Structure formats: C-alpha cells, structure tokens
Amino acid sequence: MELERAIEDYTVHLAVERGYSAQTVRAYRSDLQALAGFARGRDKHTTSDITLDLLRDWLWTAAQEGRSKATLARRSASARGFTAWLTRTGNEAVDPALRLRSPKPDKTLPRVVNRSQMAGMLDALAAQAADGEPGAVRDQAVIELLYASGIRVSELTGLDVDDVDLERLTVRVLGKGSKERVVPFGVPARNALVGYIGTARRALAVPGSGPALFLGARGGRLGTRAVYDLVAGLLVEIPGGGPAGPHALRHTAATHLLDGGADLRAVQELLGHASLGTTQIYTHVSTERLKESYRIAHPRA
C-alpha cells in the first residue's frame, strides 16, 4: 500500500473510529508524515518498505538532530500505533515495530501555582473585569472555570451555553475519546459565569456565534491558542518552572484538591483520566511540595 495513502487512512480511523481529538490526530499525522519523508529520502514509498531498521534509523537521525526524548518517545508511539493498525487491517502481515524501543521521556513534575498566587491572579482578573469590559469579564470566567473544574483547554473551548448548569454548579464536557462527563465547579466560578453570560457574551455575540459558551473578539468560538496566550500572560509574572499554559491550571486544581484531602479516584473522575496511574503524578507533586516545606522549615532538614 502506498505510504502516504495509508497515513491518511489511519488518521481518518483515529478521528472517526477512535474518536481522537483534532489536536491528537494532527500530532499523529505530523509524526507519520515525518516518517514518510524520511522513507522517501531512502527511496521507500510503500508500507511494505517500513522495516524495523528503517524505524530505528529514523529515530536515531532525529536524536542526532537534537530532538528531545519526549519527541522521540512520541514518534515511536505514533509509528507503533500505525504499524499495528496496518497489521490488524491486513495491509501488512508482520508488524515491524513490535521490537522498536524508544527512550523514556525525562520525568518532570507539572507546574503548580500555589494557593496565594492563584488567589492573587483571580483577584487581579476580578479587578480588571469590574468595569464590565466584555473581554475582561470573559477572561475572568475562563480562568475561574479552568481552575474550579480542572478541565482541559480543548474541553473548555468546546463548551456550549447549554453545557453549563448554573443551578447545580456543574458543566458537561466532551473529553478524550468523545467520552462525556459532568464536572462540578464552585460558587466563585458560577458568579463569574453569570456575569459573563448575562452581559459580556451578549456584547461579544454576532449573528453567526451559535451556541458557543466562550466567544472571541470577533464573535466566533474562542480558540485554544487565545486561552493559552491568556494563561501564559498571567503566569509570566508568577515564579515557577514548567510550561506556562492552561494545563498548569489543570495541574494546580488537581494538586490543590489532593492537598485538601480529596480522594485520588474522585480526582481521576473529575479530570477524565482513563487510568489512575495518570492521576497519581499529582500525588508526587504533593509529596514534593511537602518535602520542600520540610526542607525550609525543619531545623534538622
């Protein structure tokens, strides 16, 4: 089978049959197109040309180019998923990636904003929104909801107005794999949402806005890039390492819940993690915070 055609068929499979998000499908397509380009450079054009040696050479070349361990691990995972699909669908008799190894990505703890820093950020947003400027009111509601619920940025931007229940303080989100879940939020987030939906959203809306909850300056659905820029701009003034995007607020919400005594499985359900192991990274975060406090406070640390 022609390699480029197989890649397109596989990414359609991921989107339609597996229900992967558009962002995830783009990542798979990007990795596999890089593989196809590498194969073309060696006069390999079909799925039968994909061998274990070719895959190893591809990853080795990427490593020599300075690609990170995380990138190499992701590319390896993309290739394994692709070749496994080729075998399952009968396009190839043998899976060449069964013995493909990839470096384990470096373990880094997610960025977490402490409670006082988070309170200061939310207070600043409330002050900016006090004069009723629609964009500022929306931004306050966005950050309040991200922190209160721990939802992903893609889940937030995909929300429609009817997904929010202001009486029950819950939001219905469509997560990875098109799995729906209902997530609670608190009174401060509700108050911010009431202010946004009641006035600011109406000011931002245009005839083609549709049911989208959060709207951009031109009246269309607010994009993930705009939310990323918003969060990054807020975090730039706050000390701390790690990525400064919306996922930091998801990490922060989970860590604060566990610090407050929430059950790990409840946090797993709230975050929409398929595996409890994914959620357990936040217990490591809490442990590291405890160790840091101990090192600072204990005279014999």
Query: Are 31 and 75 contacting, i.e. CB atoms less than 8 angstroms apart?
Result: yes
In the set 20, 28, 147, 282, the catalytic residue is 282
In the set 111, 250, 251, 256, the catalytic residue is 250
Residue (of 298, 118, 140) closest to 214 by Cα position: 140
In the set 29, 44, 221, 247, the catalytic residue is 247
In the set 176, 181, 221, 289, the catalytic residue is 176
* Cα-Cα-Cα-Cα dihedral sign, residues 52, 56, 57, 58: positive
Q: Show the tokens assigned to 297.
A: 């406070």
Any catalytic annotation for residue 247?
yes
In the set 74, 190, 201, 273, the catalytic residue is 273
CA 206 to each of CA 34, 195, 214, 226: distance values in angstroms, whole numbers, following the listed order: 40, 19, 13, 18
Any catalytic annotation for residue 179?
no
CA 24 to each of CA 1, 30, 50, 110, 191: distance values in angstroms, whole numbers, following the listed order: 24, 10, 23, 20, 33
In the set 152, 190, 201, 256, the catalytic residue is 152
SS3 percent helix, strand, coil of the chain, rounded to 5, is 60, 5, 35
Any catalytic annotation for residue 273?
yes
Radius of gyration of the chain (CA): 22
Residue 181 φ then ψ, to 5°: -145, 160
- Residue 225's identity, in one-letter code, is R
Q: How far is CA 208 from the centre of its chain?
A: 27
For the annotated catalytic residues, the residue numbers are: 152, 176, 247, 250, 273, 282
